[in-house]
Amino acid sequence: MLNKSVRYLLLQTKAIIMIQVYIEYWKQYFNWSGRTTRKSFWWVFIMNLAIALTLILLYIVTTGATVVLSFDFEGFNVATYIFGSLLILWSLATLIPTSNLGIRRVRDTGLSPWIWLLSPVSSILGGFNNFPAEIVSDILFLAFLGLDLMPSKKGRISSRSQSQGSLIIAIGLIALVGFSVVNLPAKAEHIVQGLPQTNLVIKTNSDAKISLSGLTSESKQEVISAYKENGWKLSESGENLIKQIYSANQQFVIDNQTYQTDVNGKVIAKVTSNIVTNITASDSASAPTIRSNIDGKNSDSVKIRTPFAKTKTVIVNQTIDVNEVVNQMDMVNGNSMPEDVSPQNQDTSTIKLTPLSFNLLSNGVVRKYRVGEKVGCNDFNAFGTDNIHHNKADPRFWIDFMGSDCQNVVTNIPLYLATCKKDSTKNPFCKPNSGACSTIQKMPRTYHHMSIFGGVAK
């Protein structure tokens, strides 16, 4: 019974001594002169280590090791941020008093205070992202702790040793802080690279869509027959023509990094596993004529959580509305015309040929374009065209459109995004009488015929 009481009293005494030593540690925050005994040094070392480990443990368990260790900041809760912030503040607050404690301990052993520089040098080497530097860092740190185990050396401390303390501390901390700031991006990248990685594969499926609404049943069949011969398919509703189109060279932004689809319409990016990843179809987001569906969501930008898996595939379905594109270009050219308006009883000599408009003679015959005339857009110059820019409700417009200069641009999403998407802005790419679609394909900007092989007809 007595032995237990004595042991308890001894433990109580040690606890009181430890607390007193720790209070003294903070009181000597800016004291780099004098001595620190071996016992005082190690009591403080153990207390600081215990507090740091407690904060780290609380930081991890509040959200979970999987979330914290993968740096999934969006998965953090309030408690995680609180303990994480406390850990950072604690590390910064103890930097100066711990440095002063170390130099006083070195001086107490009778060694030169410059030996203390082993500590910051060890930390600096540990910041390099290579194995040899980390080994040397560990050796230096263990050597420093080993020297701190030496007993106190009695005798008077030289005035030179006392006065050098502030200089040594300043050199060590400036070097350590400076290196840490400069090396922070590389260190962060090294940490991220060490985390589990997932190959994020973005696979794009791009289609062009032509709506047949507004056409009569007979007209629809005429257009459908013509387009099916050129690889277009009829939708299940029977109201739209669909064709899979070229989708290479499209830009996607994945976590602030820009990627471009390859010839197969794919992007492969390495991302950290089990974190929220942002994916944006950057080009199509600014093109109102393109509808995007990313990973089942009708949006140009989505957030997904990548799994702990080797590969995660995200399907991106994009559809370009050809009807909207054509209407947009006609509006830019100022040549939109109501379907029910037709000039009547006009003298043929007064009829002025206006690009992309209906030019009817007094006898009801439609004026035809001649090769070499100015034209707003060659969207009706396909092989076999009748040289007339028909109304969109007329099946002949869509037949003349297939294989035209305009159709070749519209059904190439990367080319369309690089140029024609500007038509929805105040500074459109397609301007009156510019023949813009023809120009970017190195075709004549005036009216011309396309051959059955795709080039300009001779």
Whether 72 contacts 198, CB under 8 Å = no
* 213 falls within a domain: yes
Do both 23 and 170 map to the same domain? yes
* 451 falls within a domain: no
Do both 127 and 179 map to the same domain? yes
Do both 94 and 21 map to the same domain? yes
Lookup: tokens for 226: 């013509």
Interatomic CA distance for residues 254 and 249, integer angstroms: 15
Do both 147 and 187 map to the same domain? yes
| Chain centroid, CA 411 distance in Å | 27
Sign of CA dihedral 69, 73, 78, 81: positive
Interatomic CA distance for residues 108 and 115, integer angstroms: 12
Domain hosting 124: range is 17-193
* 383 falls within a domain: no
Do both 205 and 182 map to the same domain? no
Do both 148 and 241 map to the same domain? no
Do both 215 and 181 map to the same domain? no
Say what the pLDDT of residue 357 is.
39
Q: What are the mean pLDDT values of the chain's consecutive 10-residue runs (458 residues total)?
A: 66 80 93 90 94 90 65 70 89 94 93 93 87 90 92 84 86 91 79 76 91 89 90 92 84 89 89 83 69 88 83 90 81 46 34 38 59 85 86 86 86 76 68 77 86 75
Interatomic CA distance for residues 66 and 344, integer angstroms: 77
Do both 67 and 125 map to the same domain? yes
Do both 63 and 183 map to the same domain? yes
* 359 falls within a domain: no
User: How many domains are there within the chain?
Assistant: 2
Last residue in a domain, options 322, 356, 377: 322
Whether 408 contacts 401, CB under 8 Å = no
Interatomic CA distance for residues 152 and 300, integer angstroms: 69
What CATH number has the domain bearing residue 305? 2.60.40
* 404 falls within a domain: no
Say what the pLDDT of residue 201 is.
93
Residue where the block lists tokens 């008093």: 97
Whether 200 contacts 276, CB under 8 Å = no
Do both 262 and 317 map to the same domain? yes
Do both 77 and 133 map to the same domain? yes
Sign of CA dihedral 242, 244, 249, 253: positive
